[in-house]
Amino acid sequence: MLRRLAQRGGGAGERGSVAVFTAFFAFAVLLLVALLVVGGSVLNARERAADIAEQAARAAVTDLSTARLHAGVVAIDWGTACGYALRAVRDYAADFSNSSVRMTYCGEGGNANPRTATVTVQVTIQPAFPGFPAPTMTATQTATAACGNANQQEVC
């Protein structure tokens, strides 16, 4: 049987083709795994940015102007509200070691509602694999201060 293969040229030109295929396939699998890990990190960073921005907006809304509140007007005290928002960003960002988090905006936004705070947060993650770019995800969230209770619903 070996003699017949040798006479037909059985496999003499295909020697090593499996090794090349295996090396190429292994490289492709590793590249796909790396893309999956980085893609998962990007999705996680997007969720993280939205969550931190939402918590920061809530923190800003809790700082109401007492002088205006005594006059019957619910309004955010913008002199100190962004400080509360920044503290919330720092507190939530402390739990994440592989990323940098920064607040890029805190204020009334475009709606000019004195009871609404808008906060924008950027989260930049360090890639798990060298050579991949460090993606930055940005999220903007708003929160609005409300007065009253469950029965009164905005009656102040």
Length of the chain: 156
Q: Residue 118's Cα: distance from chain center in Å? A: 17
Q: Which pLDDT band holds residue 138 (cuts at 50, 70, 90)?
A: very high
Q: Which two tokens stand for residue 82?
A: 């962004």
Helix (H) or strand (E) holding 84: helix 81-93
> Which pTM does this prediction carry?
0.73
Question: What pLDDT digit, counting tens, does each position of 17-38 carry?
Answer: 778 888 899 999 998 988 888 8
